[in-house]
Structure 1
């Protein structure tokens, strides 16, 4: 039975990944900060799905705790066959008005942990000649929405480069790029999108199902839903000056705060 490791597994897309992968008979390693919540989720999944669930509490803004997760990924004892780098959050402040320490912590979670854990997983998977890495980016990677867009753009570009390096190894890398998804992400960030039209929103189960299908077929970019595929195409073709203008007017730059 294959094993999947999921970061940010206690809520939102991470939790949905856990349930869908468990339903597909994957054993799990769940990573998040709150041990009590993780243990409760693990107990529920084990009782319903009949798979084995490890919990690995870690604050991915702390380099030493990232290393604990990396060590688990490097292990050839019950090796991880799928890494889902999902952990992340948003700071609902303009960059120039925010605390730089808060921004550095966000960078560590959204960028540095993805880099460290992807390398640890890929090196172990290459030795076995199989495996997959799924990094959660966003349609926001194509906009100009402050550090959140910058982090997600890094994840997308990094994953594409990783996929090139992994070509021919039996290991794949996929960047998931959804738009708005119905989770508690926005509430936790203090962002009110209640006035946004329902057509802009995706359901977490659909996003995760599409992502896992794309991983299975070795896709490098996974963008769930036709409407966000079209939005992504438009954002890639627009002059960057136009994208920045849309952001200044509160438009396209708001796309894609998912989780």
Structure 2
């Protein structure tokens, strides 16, 4: 009996913490379905009376939601593609190729993780402007094809777990280094690739500073910037604000729910557990 007690307490503790974490999200969804009159008269009540689905229709029509959504999806597709291509190539070079200065350059790469985004903000803006990419989605997509230090480190850790014998066998068969990368390494590191892709997707979806800095045309704004504009123009309509917040959050929650097993496997196999 005593041996089972810690297990039950663990379940109770997990359920309690989960309920506390889920409570704000549940409140967000339920409140987004309330009528303005109920929000004014019963601000602390949880259950909508009645359910007002019209809030979502009004929130979508209040801004060019689907145009912002298309821009966001295009950015996510370009950034995830660029990140996976560039970071996997660089990570393979750091993990499995021997060349002069490799370890020193990798240390410099890791040191860049200590730099806040604001330090490189002005130089990056000047480069983007000189390339003629200002006020275009390319200003946010092209830099992703140049690699990200954290994702390079993440993939390198996974590549180091692949047995060297597989790489040596591929080389004996006459496979080039790029062939080893695309035919041997990448098929074996799908959990890590999914992890990197999911992290970059979420980062792009939530990015507000990049569009604010590089975009000027409202037709190119993503959802994150559009949501901020929505908040500014509808600050007194709480039901519409919460409906827009649910629409903005729902795709991320669904994506994580679908890929959570691969995401957790990727984190575990890269050696970043805790």
Higher strand share: 1
TM-score bracket, normalised by the shorter chain, equals under 0.3
Q: Which has the higher contact order (CA 8 A, sep 6+)?
A: 2
Alignment TM-score, normalising by the size of structure 2: 0.23
**Structure label with greater radius of gyration:** 2
Alignment TM-score, normalising by the size of structure 1: 0.24
Higher helix share: 2
